[in-house]
Structure 1
C-alpha cells in the first residue's frame, strides 16, 4: 500500500465517493496505453529531438545550467505550465494537474560533464571541454515531452504531477538542495530514469531494493621533508608513505568489510613532485569509497581518515584528509521502494510488453543523487535503453564517445507520464480502501 498522510483523506474523499474503483483502474490503463502513441507522433518526437540537440550543443556544468534552465522555462511557458524558479540555484519545479493532493514527482537532471566530445556529428558540443556525456540532455527532453503529453490530458489527472528539473547531479548533490528547498514537501512519491547505452531501445531495467551504491570522495595531503633523491636518508619521502597508505586502504574492503556486502575504495588521484631527482615535500592522493548501506559508508569514511593519518604518522609524515562535504556531499545508496517497483513493472509491462522489462536488474557500484529523494520520499529509479547501434560495441556513459539513440525519447516520456498518472490513481485506490476500513470500524 502506498504511504499517505491522514490530512489528505478529506481533500480527496469527495472524489472517491463519486468514482467507482473500476472507473479509476480503467482510466489508468487507458491513459498509459495511449501516451506512447502520442509521444511517437512527429509534433512531440521531433520537438523532443530538437530540444535534446540544442541542450547537447550547449552543455553546462553543475549549478551553471542557466541557459538550460532558461530553455526549460521558455518551453513550460509555451505549454502554459506554472513553475517555481530558481530552486537550488538553477532548478525548475513545474506543476500539472489539480494543484491539490495527492502529489507525485518525476525528475530529470540537467548538468553536463567536463569532458571533450570526440563524436563528430552535426550537433556536437560547441563548448570546449564540456559534454553531455551522461545523457542528461536526453533526460530533460524526455521530461519536457512528458510535460507536453500530460498538459494535453490535464483534466484527466487526479492530483498534481510535479516536474523536477534538477541541477548538479554529477557530484554536486543537486537533489539534496532540491529537498532542502522544501519544493517537494507535499510529494508522496518520486520517479526518475537514466539512459543506458547497453540496453536496446524500447527496453527498461530496474529492481526492488538496492539498485546503486552510496558514495563519497576523499582527498589527502601527506607532508614529509623534501630533498635530493640521491640522499634519501636526509629526507622523509611522502611518495613512499603515500604508497603504503594506498595499500593499507585496500585492506578496508578485503579485511574489514563483510564479504557479502559489496564495498569499494579506489584511489584514483596521486600527485606530487615534478623532477626525477627530487623527493617532494608533499603528495596529494584522492579517490572514492562506495557501499550499499549508509552504515557501511560511515564506517569507510571513518576508517579512511584513521588509516591515512595514522599510517603517515608511523612513517614520520603528517597528513590531513578532506571529504569535501560541502560541495560533494556523501551520496546515500539508491534503494527502490517495493510498492513502486510493482507499479513500475505493471506500467512498463503494459506499455512495452513484459519481455522488454528486466525486473531484477543486478545492482551496480555507481552512485546517483536521486537517492537523496529516497531518504525522505518513497522513490523509484529505472534504466532506459538507448542503444545506438547493435552492430557496434556500446560506448559507456562518462566517455567522450557516448552516442544516444534518439528513438528512445518517446519511451522515456511515455513512461514518465504513465508512472505519474498511474501512481495518482493507485494512491487514491489505497486511500479509498483505508477510508472504507475506517468507515466499517465506525
Structure 2
C-alpha cells in the first residue's frame, strides 16, 4: 500500500519544509488576513507546477491531476495564526509581529501539506484520480471551512483528510481514531436585566449581579443532571460583565461562554436547557433574561473506513508503536464541515518533546513544536492520498 518513492521524496524535502514553516512562523496573520501567507503558498505552487485558484478573501485551492481519471481526495491545511504574544526566547524565528503568533501549529500544517504536494506531483503519473489541496483561512474563528465550501471546494470530492499537530502527544506518535475526535463548539451569551439602585437600599432594586451569580452556579446542573453521564458535555461561562460601581446595585449583567459536546441531540438538549435555566432564574429574582445561542463547529466524527486507512498507513510507514490511541478532545475544528459533504478522517501528529521544550499547550505564548514530527505528518498526508486513490481506482 505504501509508495516508497513518496517516503524518499519527503525525506529529501525535509530541510525546505522546516525553513518554510519558520518563515510562516515569523510572519503570522490573523483569520481572513492571511495575505502574505497566501502569496507564499502560491509562490511554492508555481515553483512545483501545480494548478491553483485563489479564494476570497484569502486561501488557495490547488489540484494535482493523476495520469488516469478517478476519484478526488481532498487534503486540507489551515493557515491562520492567533492574537497571542509570543513568549519563546529560545528560538531564532520568533514572530516579528507583536501580539500575533502561530500558537496552534497552522504554520506546520501548511508546510507539511506543501511538502506532500511536492512529492505527490512527482508521482502524478502513478495516480488514478486527483488530489485537491486546500489551504484554508480562518479556522480559529470557525468560519474558514464554510467560506471555502461556499466557493466550491467540495464539488466533486469523494473523501477528505486533514491533520493537526498535537503537543499533548509525544513526538513521532500519530493518532486517527474511529468516531468522535473533536467536539462541537457553540457560543453562548446571556443578558440579564434587573433594576439598579443604591447599594444601601437593595429592597428597591432587582440585583442583576445576584441573578447572574445564581445562573452560573445552577447552570452546571444541566450537565450533571440532565445529560446522560456517558455523553461528554461542557458548559463554561468564561466572561461576566456586571455592575458599574462599588455602591451601585447592578441593573445589567452580560455573561458569555461556550458549550461543547459530541452529539447533535445532546447539543439540542443543552441549548433548550440553558434557555430554560436563564428564564427561570431571572423570573425567580424578578429580572428578565435574553439568551443568544450561536452554533459554532459541528462535532468532528471520523468515518470508520477512512480512519482505519490512516491507521494502517501509520503502522506501515512508522511502525506499530507509532500508532497512538489518543482520547477525543472537547477542542473544536471546523474541518467538521467538510465531513458533512464527504466521508473522511482527521489525524493528530504528536509534537510534544520535553527535551526540546515543546510540550507547551496550544494557544500558549510558549507553544512550539518538535520539527522532527513534520516529516511524518507530510508523509501521512501524501500516503493517505495515494492509498485512497489506489483503493478506489476500480
What range is the shorter-chain TM-score in? over 0.9
- 2:52 aligned with 1:86, yes or no? no
User: Separation in 1 of the partners of 2:268 and 2:45?
Assistant: 41
Q: Contact 1:388–1:403 at 8 Å: present in 2 too?
A: no
* 1:181 counterpart (147, 151, 155): 151
Q: Contact 2:81–2:103 at 8 Å: present in 1 too?
A: yes
- Once the two structures are superposed, the pairs formed by residues 216-255 of structure 1 within 5 Å of their partners are 216-255=186-225
User: Separation in 2 of the partners of 1:65 and 1:279?
Assistant: 45
Who is 1:335 aligned against?
301
- Taking a change above 3 Å as real, the CA distance of residues 109 and 393 of structure 1, as seen in their structure-2 partners, is closer
| 1:290 counterpart SS class | strand
Between 54-63 and 226-235, report the one with greater CA deviation.
226-235
- 2:135 aligned with 1:162, yes or no? no
How big is the shift at 1:156? 1.4
Q: Could you report, residue by residue, the CA deviation over 1:84-139 in whole angstroms, capped at 9, with x for unpaired residues? A: 2115x312110012384310011101111111111113211122221111100111
* 1:107 counterpart (55, 76, 92): 76
Q: Contact 2:62–2:133 at 8 Å: present in 1 too?
A: yes
Who is 2:8 aligned against?
37
Who is 1:49 aligned against?
18
Q: Contact 1:36–1:411 at 8 Å: present in 2 too?
A: no
How big is the shift at 1:330? 2.7
- Taking a change above 3 Å as real, the CA distance of residues 128 and 279 of structure 1, as seen in their structure-2 partners, is farther
Q: Contact 2:233–2:260 at 8 Å: present in 1 too?
A: yes
| 1:364 counterpart SS class | coil
- 2:42 aligned with 1:77, yes or no? no
- 2:373 aligned with 1:408, yes or no? yes
Who is 2:385 aligned against?
420
Who is 2:349 aligned against?
384
User: Separation in 1 of the partners of 2:279 and 2:151?
Assistant: 36
Who is 2:362 aligned against?
397
| 1:215 counterpart SS class | strand
Q: Could you report, residue by residue, the CA deviation over 1:244-290 in whole angstroms, capped at 9, with x for unpaired residues? A: 11122111111110111111111111112243222232121111111
Q: Contact 1:215–1:297 at 8 Å: present in 2 too?
A: no
| 2:378 counterpart SS class | helix
Considering fraction of residues, name the structure with more helix.
1
Who is 1:13 aligned against?
none
How big is the shift at 1:173? 2.6
Q: Could you report, residue by residue, the CA deviation over 1:126-171 in whole angstroms, capped at 9, with x for unpaired residues? A: 2222111110011111011111111111211111000011111113
Considering fraction of residues, name the structure with more strand.
2
TM-score, normalising length: structure 2: 0.95
Residue ranges of structure 2 left out of the alignment (5+ in a row): none
Q: Could you report, residue by residue, the CA deviation over 1:225-262 in whole angstroms, capped at 9, with x for unpaired residues? A: 22222222222111110011112211111111011111
- 2:326 aligned with 1:356, yes or no? no
User: Separation in 2 of the partners of 1:213 and 1:115?
Assistant: 23
Who is 2:330 aligned against?
365
User: Separation in 2 of the partners of 1:153 and 1:271?
Assistant: 57
Who is 2:118 aligned against?
148
TM-score, normalising length: structure 1: 0.85
Q: Could you report, residue by residue, the CA deviation over 1:332-356 in whole angstroms, capped at 9, with x for unpaired residues? A: 1111111112211211111101111
User: Separation in 1 of the partners of 2:85 and 2:313?
Assistant: 38
Between 192-201 and 103-112, report the one with greater CA deviation.
192-201
| 1:170 counterpart SS class | coil
Q: Contact 2:142–2:297 at 8 Å: present in 1 too?
A: no
How big is the shift at 1:392? 5.2
**Equivalent pairs, count:** 392
Who is 2:30 aligned against?
61
| 1:370 counterpart SS class | helix
How big is the shift at 1:319? 2.1
Q: Contact 2:176–2:311 at 8 Å: present in 1 too?
A: no
| 1:322 counterpart SS class | strand
Q: Could you report, residue by residue, the CA deviation over 1:57-79 in whole angstroms, capped at 9, with x for unpaired residues? A: 12112112122111111111111
Residue ranges of structure 1 left out of the alignment (5+ in a row): 1-27, 433-442
| 2:95 counterpart SS class | coil
